[in-house]
Copies of this chain bind each other. A is one copy, B any other.
């Protein structure tokens, strides 16, 4: 069975590694990027083969809000999970619909739960 690919973007390498490890154990293939430009390039390259996006908000001088909007432009029903320490309140203004905002610090199982719940709720009615 092929694996579903999740893109994780965080400029804190340790957090990216923790999330990557948990998602790999959960059965996903994981691609990690540490800046916005590389993240967007990955989204373009993967196209519909990208199954979910997990992104930090403050990524160097860039913004996870923009990455998520870009990714939704490529895949309309892409599950999006944001992670943030100090931008949580902006989610109500800058987040995309049907996304999950997870406050840092978090337990990695929260990321896995958010990704799998969003994937499972994509109702195959249409």
Which residues does A use to contact B, with CB under 8 Å? 1-4, 14-15, 18, 22-23, 26-28, 69, 72-73, 76-77, 88-89, 91-110, 112-114, 116-117, 119-120, 122-126
Q: Which of A89, A112, A119, A120 has the most chain B CB atoms inside 10 A of its CB?
A: A120
Contacts of A117 in B (CB 8 A): 113, 117, 120
Cβ distance A86 to chain B, nearest Cβ, rounded Å: 11
B107 and A109 form a contact (CB under 8 A)? no
Contacts of A100 in B (CB 8 A): 120
Contacts of A104 in B (CB 8 A): 1
How many copies of the chain does the oligomer comprise?
6
Contacts of A22 in B (CB 8 A): 27
A109 and B76 form a contact (CB under 8 A)? no
